[in-house]
Structure 1
């Protein structure tokens, strides 16, 4: 009997499953790169009705990969079928911003989607479901989703800022000509938007076998406070400008990193960045979905406490918080105007 058949399969819903991020993501999940090489999976693939033909093609490809961990792939446009008894919910789909669209229009469209999906999640998913919102505006979509799924614990909701975290590590690694795995404990604070604050004040880099503070290794405060931050903040837009499509491969990798750490835990004395529902840590409004430095043990997420924040950093954190509060208020208004 192979080890892959000794565990019960877990059910994973992916929304926007016919899209390009999902296309990069599905193989990594089916291959055991996220939940383990001995963990069978059943995929629930949700998309809108006009995409059902495309989704059928995705299911054919999943079958054709012939991977032993896959115990089923269910294509559907029904929220009930999609969210029924799921252990993991990956909200990859969202209404994308189209040319000439105001942020308010984007919020209104997404509020409707996440209100509906949150209600379905609340009704049909397991109460232990681990939720990751990827579709933008990710923090606010996560806030709406959690609001409409009140019976699921608040600590089970998260949004993706791991892509920004990985981008920040890559920029530091490139600058110092080291491998990104040598860079530890960068932080993304706040919103997954151009106001996010990539913070390396507590980060270290391993150079010649020795952990050194990033500030000491780079010796260029001006670069760290300007070019580095704006490169990370605007990286998504730069990819779109170059590729004429948004980040898919790197976004899928970040989703896998986020879920793998949530599933297996973070390394001792290391943290990652995740958008979670604020408990008031670092004077952030309680209830706001905000990206923090996070440690995970036994599937439990905790915000790293006691990090030193200077006045300049505090200002950067305030700026991204202000944007998030405005976004949240607009979204709440949109839900009540339905």
Structure 2
């Protein structure tokens, strides 16, 4: 009996030791971790650390307006449960600051990601302001940002892919919203994601820079929602050179047969690149799409792999800059 007790104690100590080694910091609202708030954990990360700092966030709703500064590189968030680990705030564009000025779209964000090499798993990111206009859940400036099994909740302007030179990868994520709820300048690859359309609106509003090789690419994603039939467009061009491509996606009845909208910008019809390839479902109607959109050939579709879109960055690995 004594031997079994000793064996059990040693096993427990070993498990505890491994758990401690796995995470650098633990955030828990009940005080059982290193910090009670997520921002405190971010602040504790050494500036420009050369190794990954892993922050484990226990279940709870953390009502915080968060900022990950440029100096906090190589940070990884891991949530305990994607539906129970929630980072949220309720600012909106029309809300006033202490000087009586409107926050604006950028100022409404619940979480600002300025640093490079940020990763998040099993976390819900939300803006809980409700249907009050622009209200951003996450704004991303940094390069090489990877979200896996995460949720993004909001209405208008939920996910702001802001950085002009930012590459982002979304794997097995859930993103919901109404008007332009995935928008911005960045290059972003969405794979095996669920895109949920609420009310009426536009899934994307890309602002791709002129000369950029890629904008948004959706691969093997499902477009569904609570919106009525034909009430959503796949995208409209926030900036004239917008690029958005849907490849082998399941498109629900919410998608309008025309597919794409020019945002009352006739010039954008010549400059924007909106394309599809082998989409299925009631919302996939190649024959009714606007004439200025494109159906890719087999050969053209080969250019839209994750490797080609993201370049020299492989998500989930430590990035090594190419030699000069």
TM-score class normalised by the smaller sequence: under 0.3
Max Rg structure: 2
After TM superposition, the score normalised by the length of structure 1 is: 0.27
Which fold has the larger relative contact order, with Cα–Cα distance below 8 Å and residues 6 or more apart in sequence?
1
After TM superposition, the score normalised by the length of structure 2 is: 0.28
Q: From the two aligned structures, give the one with the greater helix fraction.
A: 1
